[in-house]
Structure 1
Amino acid sequence: MTGPVRRFRGLPLRSRLALLVAVAVAVAVAAAAVTCWFVVRNALMDSLDGALSGNRPKPSDVIERIDIDATGGGARCLREIPNRDNPDLYQQTIQVVAPNSTSCVILGRQSVEVSDSDTAVAGRETEDTYHDATASNGEKYRVFTYQFKEYPELRLAVSVARPLSEVDDTLGDLVLLLTLVGGAGILGAGVAGLWVARTGLRPVDRLTEAVEHVARTEDLDLRIPVDGDDEIARLSASFNSMTASLATSRDLQQQLIADAGHELRTPLTSLRTNIELLARSEETGRAIPPDDRRALLASVKAQMTELASLIGDLQELSRPDAGHASGKVQVIAWHDVVDAALERARLRGPELRFEADLAPWFVRGEPAALERAVVNIFDNAVKFGPAGSVIEVALKDGELTVRDHGPGIPAEELPHVFDRFWRSPSARSLPGSGLGLSIVDRTVRQSGGEVTLGPADGGGTVATVRLPGAATPPPSGLPPS
């Protein structure tokens, strides 16, 4: 069985579809033909049985054509009429049967074998019977035997028989006709199946050619025309969506590489210039003034810190967007994460005052990533908050707000604040890579929340982070509601 299945699977899809259609039609035709044969056979047999039961001889004809011996325990046939006196009507045979299995033909030229059911009718055990029997010429006959009630004292039965060839010949012609029609139907179904397979798979051919073209040329701008709304159309639309997503991903990747190269070029150029000055001072023996040397070293240190921060942000953004890749997702106390990030922000902005009101809130997420996101929000507030100003932090019902009293963000710049490497023109002189808010946006979305940035009443900027969760810790192993 494995061999034919393997060979079938090795056929082209068109051939398999055509073969399946042909087999399905063949099974249907065979079932219909068999059903038709049985229906016609039963109808013909019923018709023949009706003809036999309706062709009973007259009782007087029966009595005139036999001799009766009432002695010896019952009647029995003693003499048959010669065949020349019996017409061969439809090759019909009528014979009288006695309980002792003797019989005599009263009409016809063939005698029919006597069965137990015939003698049972003659012996008054049953009223009548239908059965098949073999005649003296070797042919099969259909026999109807009934009680000879007109002379009950004789205890005889009469059998009326006609050849089964009346039914078999018709059934033979029917089998031939069904075979020819069925064979033509199966052949036509195979041709139609092949045509349907070719027509139905033409869109799949176009899709295959498109996939091969993309694999060969890496041309992600290719699109397949979508006609209708069937499965093939949906597959084509899905392919178009996939190539569009891949093209967008490739463009974003190229943009990220270009932006990263641009951002790295400035600190690397400055770092190279400072190091070359220090190296030239050592090679020529011309000492750099102590204050200038300290400034150069401080600049080198700041640029290295900026490079390290930029590389860390790039590594964070390079992680997969689909889910949390580290596998450390757990139920955490969101208020504790915010509090820990707040302590780090106080160290980075000692000249600022922080006011915090944190209500308990439990979320499902990655602790390190969420803390980094909150730290980035605080860093943004510290960067733009004037010295001595207040940064207001509140956490209530899963909504975290961080409000500073800085210059605020112009309305035309708000749509770009979460773009990678985007920096406000007024902030390009400040340290930073332009990736912090992009990391915040991605981390919050991974945790099922959302983050917004907008102007605050009275000036400044307010950042809002909403995360789904609950005010009480959930049962162990269950996510917060």
Structure 2
Amino acid sequence: MNGVLRRVRGMALRSRLALLVAVAVAAAVAAVAVTCWFITRGQLYGQMDNELRSQVGQLNQNRQAIPLLNCPDTGGQRAIPGPTIQVINSDGTVCTVRGDTPISARASDLAVADGSSDRALHTTDDDKGKAMRVLTVPVTSSPGNQQVQGIAVSIAKPLDEVTKPLTTLAWVLLLVGGIGVLGATAAGLWIARAGLRPVDKLTDAVEHVARTEDLTVRIPVDGDDEIARLSASFNSMTASLASSRELQQQLIADAGHELRTPLTSMRTNVELLTRSEATGRAIPPDDRKALMASLKAQMTELAALIGDLQELSRTGLSAGEGPVKVVSLHETVRSAVERARLRGPELTIDAELAPWYVRAEPAALERAIVNLLDNAVKFSPEKGTVEVRLMRGTLTVRDHGPGIPAEELPYVFDRFWRSPTARALPGSGLGLSIVARTVEASGGEVALAAADDGGTVATVRLPGAPTPPPEIP
């Protein structure tokens, strides 16, 4: 059985569907055929039994039946067409009145002869082995219609009057059923082929994508059935993969472009130091000090860029994989404000923070807030003021710097984007991109806009509550 199941599972889907249809039709045809055969068999047996009863009744009503009780020598009467008629004595002797082959009396027949049973109906074989349907009843006398004790009469008909039509019917049902099963199998193959044609197209498309990595393949979507939904899902998947690949390629290109500048500068400075050592020509102390300071700044910038790339990859590609906890946003902002004061000691940072608790990844959220404040510190004028407000889940960071032109606002959260006026300042162009992705991963939103009287205001909205919600189990 297990071997058969393994073979069926190894068949193609359309073959399994056709086999399923054929088996279902065969089972239905077999059930109908067997039911029809048994109903017909019952009807034929009932009809034969009724005929026997009718003929026995006529025999008992025939006043010439009494002479037959003595079982005379009937001679040629045995060849008279019609059912076999026998007289059965209670002692077991049988006298054939009509018919060419005697039928042995059974116990049920003798019970009728001695008066212990009123009738017997059974199937038996005559002395030549021919199946006969036998009905045995008591003999009644004409006057008073009383039973004659010790004697019974049997009437029998060949059973082939029933078995031959049943055999013919069985062959007809078998033939018709076989044709039906073959037709159902052919129809199942056609239906499976037609129904799985869209699946074949989908399979070809998947194999083409796997073979060529061509993510521009799209499958036509017809209707709204399961196959259409599968095709639409495949198209959405390939579109998402194509978009992801494009973003990945863009990230690599942008990262390479941004890494090239500090690496080129570092290479130039290192070559100057190497050449000085090789030629023995010392670099003037002031120039050497400036060269080492430049190297240190470039290494710092390169390390910050690599760190930003790692953070961006983590928040952009695997957001939500870190532990999500209940975070007090006001404490996180307060910590970031303290760090910002260390980076801009000449600035005044005015913070007003109301309690607010959110569900987020603590480290990622803190880095995003720090990036937001670093951006404000970097663009604030000397001895300027940065205003930080947290009210009912809305965090605003306002600086009084040069601001961002309106035409540049749509690009501020793009990776590696930097305003032309800010390219001379340190930075990688990834800070605001990290902020946007972290806030979005926490279910919030972030926006940058020009302040009314100059400067820039950054707004972050995060869902939460003024009291700590239950911890995530």
The answer to whether 1:217 aligns with 2:209 is no
Give how far 1:435 is off.
Answer: 1.2
Out of 384, 390, 394, the position equivalent to 2:390 is: 394
In 2, the alpha carbon distance for the partners of 1:287 and 1:152 equals 152
Trace 1:170-181 onto structure 2 (pairs within 5 A).
Answer: 170-181=165-176
In 2, the alpha carbon distance for the partners of 1:198 and 1:13 equals 10
Aligned counterpart, 1:71: none
Out of 196, 200, 220, the position equivalent to 1:201 is: 196
> More deviation in 452-461 or 159-168?
452-461
> More deviation in 168-177 or 295-304?
295-304
In 2, the alpha carbon distance for the partners of 1:44 and 1:273 equals 111
Q: How many matched pairs?
A: 466
Amino acid at match of 1:225: P
In 2, the alpha carbon distance for the partners of 1:257 and 1:218 equals 19
Aligned counterpart, 1:151: 145
Deviation readout 1:340-373 (Å, 9 max, x if unpaired): 323222222321313131314141x322112112
User: Structure 2, unaligned stretches of length 5 or more?
Assistant: none
Give how far 1:305 is off.
Answer: 1.4
Trace 1:1-400 onto structure 2 (pairs within 5 A).
Answer: 1-58=1-58, 61=61, 64-66=64-66, 79=71, 82=74, 84-85=76-77, 88-89=80-81, 91-95=82-86, 104-119=95-110, 128=119, 130-146=121-137, 151-154=145-148, 158-282=153-277, 283-290=279-286, 292-319=287-314, 321=316, 324=319, 327-350=322-345, 351-363=347-359, 365-386=360-381, 387-396=383-392, 398-400=393-395
Amino acid at match of 1:361: Y
Q: 1:162 to 1:273 in 2, by over 3 A?
A: same
Q: 1:51 to 1:58 in 2, by over 3 A?
A: closer
Does the 8 Å contact 2:269/2:291 carry over to 1?
yes
Amino acid at match of 2:145: Y
Aligned counterpart, 2:459: 464
In 2, the alpha carbon distance for the partners of 1:317 and 1:116 equals 101
Aligned counterpart, 1:435: 430
- Please state whether the residue corresponding to 1:54 is helix, strand or coil: helix
Sequence identity percentage: 59
Does the 8 Å contact 2:74/2:97 carry over to 1?
no
Aligned counterpart, 1:74: none
> More deviation in 413-422 or 56-65?
56-65
In 1, the alpha carbon distance for the partners of 2:87 and 2:315 equals 98
Amino acid at match of 1:133: T
Give how far 1:170 is off.
Answer: 0.9
- Please state whether the residue corresponding to 1:57 is helix, strand or coil: helix
> More deviation in 139-148 or 26-35?
139-148
In 1, the alpha carbon distance for the partners of 2:319 and 2:171 equals 71
Give how far 1:34 is off.
Answer: 1.8
Does the 8 Å contact 2:355/2:467 carry over to 1?
no
> More deviation in 242-251 or 267-276?
267-276
Amino acid at match of 1:57: G
Q: 1:321 to 1:265 in 2, by over 3 A?
A: closer
In the superposition, the TM-score normalised over structure 2's length comes to: 0.84
In 2, the alpha carbon distance for the partners of 1:407 and 1:43 equals 105
In 2, the alpha carbon distance for the partners of 1:458 and 1:130 equals 117
User: Structure 1, unaligned stretches of length 5 or more?
Assistant: 69-76
In 2, the alpha carbon distance for the partners of 1:226 and 1:449 equals 35
In 1, the alpha carbon distance for the partners of 2:310 and 2:3 equals 53
- Please state whether the residue corresponding to 1:454 is helix, strand or coil: strand
